[in-house]
Amino acid sequence: MLLKRKLFFTLTLALFVLLHSGKAQEGRYSIDIKERPGFIIPHHSHIAYFLKENVNAIQLNFGITTDGSKFWHKEFNYPIVGLGLYYSGLGNDTLYGKLTGLYTFINRPFLDNTKRFNISNTLSVGLSYASKWHNPISNRSNMVLSTPLNVFFQYEIGCNYRISTNHNVSASIGLTHASNGSVKEPNLGFNIFTTALGYRYSFGNPNPVRSELPDDITPFSSWNFGLFASIKSIDAFSGKQYGIIGLSAEKLYRFAPLSMAGLELTAYKDNSIPDLVMDKSEDAVTLNKNDNLALTINATYLMGFNRIGIVFQPGIYLRNQYYGFGAFSNKVGLRINIYDGLILGVAIKAHWFAQADFVEFGIKNSFNRHEK
């Protein structure tokens, strides 16, 4: 069946090549379909034990090519933004079922988008639904997801070729992640590596050429001070949830018109740490009242899109009483400037590279300095 689908896909593309030609600008709207064969990355021995097969996903994106009416359109080379749908197996249909994702995405080309060939990357963020999840009675071996509704995150990089005004083909590699951010345990989370072949059909009138752009309002530098809170679970059997609260201070500098970089220092009170230390220690342990405090430092890379920013923050622990977390403490998230430097944010904090710790909900106050 898979061979027949790939043969049909190849013949369809060949037919478009024969029937269409030209170098005219693409239409504003597009429909993009991708087939994504790949595999689950077994980052835990429990996952590796139960995997039976590789995965084959299908993905459908509905996009709008930005028209240059905002500064970030031109700065990011007129990206495509829109909504998408993802459907995939999870390596064991009986135990893990299927994964369906609904998300928003941004596809950014790096080269001159008037040429036929281009290289681009795509970031997708949304929610996913798992058809099967952990149940202590009926599905106790599923230790990967414990909730039907989870976070969906995908990043891919690839190349595409415009056959004609309306028809484009692409090839890419990508990483997809689904987990609940440890709101409920167990929560090992799925990490899926895929390759993809895609076809995009563009329609509608091409975007008009914008000769004037609004002024760049990205600050030259800023100090951000924040407060955040969350909840997490560490034990699938007790179901107990722990509160988390923290403070952060961040210094950012602009290095490109809509990009900033800097450092963030975060101190937080994680009430799960004492119980983790007690559970994992083989010896008697005496805990102090401040052993639930942790300190991290994270590098920050922020891409701005008017009031919305996407943030990547690799970091390390400076203080942490529970060494089972490891040395790394990374975050990825969204920030929304709701009013004159008042910023709402949500981020996934993870250990190592993809082991979710908790979902961070925060508010920041930004003190900006603009160029004169």
CATH number of the structural domain spanning residue 361 = 2.40.160.20
Q: Is 35 contained in some domain? A: yes
Quick one: 195 and 47 in the same domain?
A: yes
Segment 163-166 long-range contacts (CB within 8 Å, at least 24 positions apart): 163/13, 163/16, 163/17, 163/20, 163/21, 163/116, 164/16, 164/20, 164/21, 164/22, 165/20, 165/22, 165/23, 165/24, 165/25, 165/26, 165/27, 165/202, 166/20, 166/26, 166/27, 166/201, 166/202, 166/203
Among 146-160, 274-288, 323-337, the least confident range: 274-288
Tell me, yes or no, whether 265 and 197 share the same domain: no
Question: 195 and 229 share a domain?
Answer: no
pLDDT at 348 over 80: yes
- Total domains in the chain come to 2
Mean pLDDT calculated for residue range 238-267: 93
> Is 161 in the same domain as 306?
no
pLDDT at position 199: 97
Taking only the tens place, the pLDDT of each residue in 170-227 is 999 999 999 998 888 888 899 999 999 999 999 988 776 555 555 556 778 999 999 9
Please give the residue that has the higher pLDDT: either 237 or 135.
Answer: 135
Domain end call among 174, 203, 232: 203
**Does residue 188 form part of some domain?**
yes
pLDDT digits (tens, 9 = 90+) for 140-159: 899 999 999 999 999 999 99
Do 175 and 272 lie in one domain? The reply is no
Q: Is residue 213 part of a domain?
A: no
Residue 59: inside a domain, yes or no?
A: yes
Task: With 0.75 as the threshold, say if the pTM is over it.
Answer: yes
The pLDDT of residue 69 is 83
The answer to the question of residue 71 being in a domain is yes
Q: Say yes or no: 256 and 152 in one domain.
A: no
Same-domain pairing of 228 and 101: no
329, pLDDT greater than 80: yes
Domain with 186 in it: 2-203
Residue 21: predicted pLDDT = 42
In this structure, are 167 and 35 located in the same domain? Answer: yes
**9 vs 141, higher pLDDT:** 141
Cβ neighbours for 19, distance < 8 A, ≥ 6 positions apart: none
Q: What is the pLDDT of residue 281?
A: 58
Q: Is residue 211 part of a domain?
A: no
Residue 352 lies in a domain: yes
Q: Specify whether 303 is located in the same domain as 180.
A: no
Question: Do 54 and 144 fall into the same domain?
Answer: yes
Same domain, 170 and 270: no
Does 216 reside within a domain? no
